[in-house]
Amino acid sequence: MSDTPNFAVVILAAGQGTRMRSDTHKVLHPIAGKALLMHLLDSVDRLGAEKRVVVVGKGRDQVEKALKGRDVSIAHQVEQKGTAHAVQQAQDALAGYEGAVLILYGDTPFVEPETLKRMLDRLDGGGGPGVVVLASTPDDPLKYGRIILGEGDHIAKMVEFKDATEEERTVRLCNSGMMALRSKDLFRWLDQVGNDNAAGEYYLPDVVNIAAAEGRDAVVIEGDPYETAGVNSRAELAHLELDWQRRRREQALQDGATLIDPESVWFAADTKLGRDVTVEPHVVFGPGVEVADGATIKAFSHIEGATIATKAVIGPFARLRPGAKIGEKAKVGNFVEVKKAVLGPARRPTTCPTSGMRTSARMRTSALERSPAITTVSASTIR
């Protein structure tokens, strides 16, 4: 998006994640085979962030390892004192930077680049607002903080659920926590945030009231509830996975693939399907799969790290593992496993007549070289 203003991103990933009941850091739990944090960073990269800062706390080593090789700065929140305190930890990483800053959350992975751009454009837009807040109206607002609107898109008040009155809790417009501000304002206002609240924490939304005291308005941009859905538990992770898969299936259908039973097909984040691909029920795509035009994936097949050429036929009950390359019009029959092997055009893998017995590499290689079409008889593994 070449017309996007220069901006930096601060991603908060310092939460304890206790409700996940896991030794894995919350933002590293996967949806569609990709960590929550990586989904978000990929969206940020598509928009073209100038600087990226991830604020971590407990589990810092895990996050740093996962981010190795990416253009990201790490800030450490030693004590978890609230979201405003967490953002403050990014100040050194943004020293000398005076542009716009997007504040995002590592456990809220699916905010769209277009929505982030709307936030940045509004920050530069009419009236010169001091803060732009991303909100949504979910079907069940649960315990999200509420946004009370004034005139137009201007915010009259923001309040955390636990501090809200019963009347304020009836408001359905919910605060996602994501904001856009200018760096020169952000850290100055954060210094003024107090912790006189039910939790004794320093809340990021308090900058709205601080900005208002200086005559700077806060405004709201409303997004899809899917974009603002966060993950705090295994159940929320599972529900968000279901939402992602549903959207990905719809996209596959729109792009020209046939899914016989869409709800039984599971995609990875990077699955690529060509046109006129047919996918039968109960197929699972792991990471790293490319399927060319006109191929057929039959029922109960599991595929990861494999490339499948035009009009190839896989399965049923086949497993393709990383390194498998299936050629044009080649066929991999039922109960066949292929790993780190190339199956040339219009050929089938050899199998042993005795179910479950694996043929030797020499036998398989020579057989594939000799015969243009070897019929699959029973279970086999090609490595």
Q: Which amino acids are annotated catalytic?
A: 19
Q: Half-sphere exposure of 282 toward its Cβ, with a 13 Å CA cutoff?
A: 8
Let me know: does 271 contact 289? Beta carbons within 8 Å. Answer: yes
d(CA 43, CA 99): 19
Let me know: does 8 contact 51? Beta carbons within 8 Å. Answer: yes
Residues in CB range of 230: below 8 A, 6 or more apart: 105, 107, 108, 236
Let me know: does 243 contact 235? Beta carbons within 8 Å. Answer: no
Q: Are strands 100-105 and 174-182 parallel, antiparallel or unpaired?
A: antiparallel
Beta bridge partner(s), residue 148: 157
d(CA 261, CA 50): 43
d(CA 359, CA 353): 10
d(CA 95, CA 114): 27
Residues in CB range of 49: below 8 A, 6 or more apart: 7, 8, 9, 102
Q: What string of H, E and C letters represents the secondary structure of 105-144?
A: ECCCCCCCHHHHHHHHHHHCCCCCCCEEEEEECCCCCCCC
